[in-house]
């Protein structure tokens, strides 16, 4: 294997698939993780220059560590981990749903934290390794909707600077490693949106343009191949995080906000 390898969790569909395609186009070997989208993962891998698929339910105890160890044992240049897998389940600030909270925290925060820890403990990559945690512009522009989801992304954000601490300071990373965040805005139709609703709601940002999955994916490739300071987060949202939106754009659009 002469290509550097990248593992993209949730890499078969939606924004995850955009990450997979962008890294493949940049010359990487892409390991496409999926939980239940095996057919989509296989189809995507077949169309890429160098790719494979792996299945794991990362919410299960021990699964992140097992996945990282198995890849690290056979990849001599596992250069990047993109933690993209996520769930987006509605609840709100007046009625936290305990099951939604537990699922959101397990998938969106605990799994990527454990996977990143095991990656930094076991992966090999000449010149340093890269962890990219996919968060959300809601970090800077929160609203009362999708309460558990938003909390889980804040928890994931907290891992970035802690994981970036080097081993000399009691941390998990080596001096040549980098840990980053990528914080997308509204990109694809989500929850119960129609595509027409998404087209309108996703213009609710400073640039009045729809941020694309390719925008986000190309940012991840840039971080994986560059040398920005570790611990940084890049917002890719056409300026949405600079606004103060009282509700999720799904509901702002339905309320007639333009």
| Per-residue model confidence (pLDDT) at position 41 | 98
Please tell me whether residue 148 adopts helix, strand or coil conformation: helix
pLDDT digits (tens, 9 = 90+) for 149-168: 999 999 999 999 999 999 98
Cα distance between residue 221 and residue 191, in whole Å: 27
pLDDT digits (tens, 9 = 90+) for 175-223: 999 999 999 999 999 999 999 999 999 999 999 999 999 999 999 999 9
Cα distance between residue 112 and residue 85, in whole Å: 8
> For 6-16, what is the mean pLDDT?
98
The tokens of 98 are what?
A: 């305990």
Torsional sign, CA 170, 176, 177, 180:
positive
| Per-residue model confidence (pLDDT) at position 1 | 76
Question: How far is the CA of 91 from the CAs of 9, 94, 109, in angstroms?
Answer: 24, 8, 17
Please check the confidence at residue 258 and state whether its pLDDT lies above 90: no
Provide the whole-model pTM: 0.97
pLDDT digits (tens, 9 = 90+) for 99-127: 999 999 999 999 999 999 999 999 999 99
CATH fold of 5-254 reads Rossmann fold (3.40.50)
Phi-psi region of 33 (alpha: psi -120 to 50; beta: other; left: phi over 0): beta
Contact 104, 149 (CB under 8 A): yes
Mean of pLDDT over the chain: 97
Q: Which helix (H) or strand (E) holds 54?
A: strand 51-55
- Give exposure, 3-17, as e/b (b: 16+ Cβ within 10 Å): bbbbbbbbbbbbbbb
Q: Which helix (H) or strand (E) holds 210?
A: none
Cα distance between residue 116 and residue 163, in whole Å: 8
Contact 179, 164 (CB under 8 A): yes
Which ranges of 6-87 does DSSP label H, i.e. alpha helix? 14-25, 38-46, 63-74
The percentage of residues in the chain with a pLDDT greater than 90, rounded to a whole number, is 97
Contact 138, 150 (CB under 8 A): yes
| Per-residue model confidence (pLDDT) at position 214 | 98
Please check the confidence at residue 91 and state whether its pLDDT lies above 80: yes
Cα distance between residue 180 and residue 182, in whole Å: 7
């Amino acid at each position: 294997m002469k290509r550097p390898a990248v593992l993209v969790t949730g890499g078969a569909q939606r924004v995850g698939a955009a990450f997979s395609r962008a890294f493949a186009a940049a010359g990487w070997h892409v390991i496409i993780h999926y939980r239940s989208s095996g057919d989509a993962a296989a189809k995507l891998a077949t169309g890429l220059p160098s790719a494979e698929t792996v299945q794991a339910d990362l919410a299960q105890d021990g699964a992140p560590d097992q996945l990282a160890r198995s890849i690290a044992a056979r990849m001599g240049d596992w250069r990047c981990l993109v933690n993209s897998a996520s769930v987006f389940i509605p609840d709100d600030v007046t009625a936290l749903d305990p099951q939604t909270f537990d699922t959101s925290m397990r998938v969106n925060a605990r799994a990527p934290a454990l996977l990143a820890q095991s990656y930094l403990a076991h992966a090999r990559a000449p010149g340093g390794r890269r962890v990219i945690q996919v968060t959300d512009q809601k970090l800077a522009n929160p609203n009362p909707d999708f309460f558990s989801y938003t909390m889980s992304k804040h928890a994931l954000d907290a891992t970035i600077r802690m994981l970036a601490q080097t081993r000399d300071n009691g941390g998990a990373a080596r001096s040549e490693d980098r840990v980053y965040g990528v914080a997308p805005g509204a990109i694809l139709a989500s929850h119960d949106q129609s595509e027409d609703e998404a087209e309108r709601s996703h213009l609710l940002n400073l640039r009045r343009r729809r941020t694309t999955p390719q925008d986000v994916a190309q940012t991840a490739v840039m971080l994986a191949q560059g040398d920005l300071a570790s611990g940084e987060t890049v917002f890719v949202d056409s300026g949405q995080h600079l606004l103060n939106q009282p509700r999720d754009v799904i509901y702002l659009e339905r309320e007639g906000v333009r």
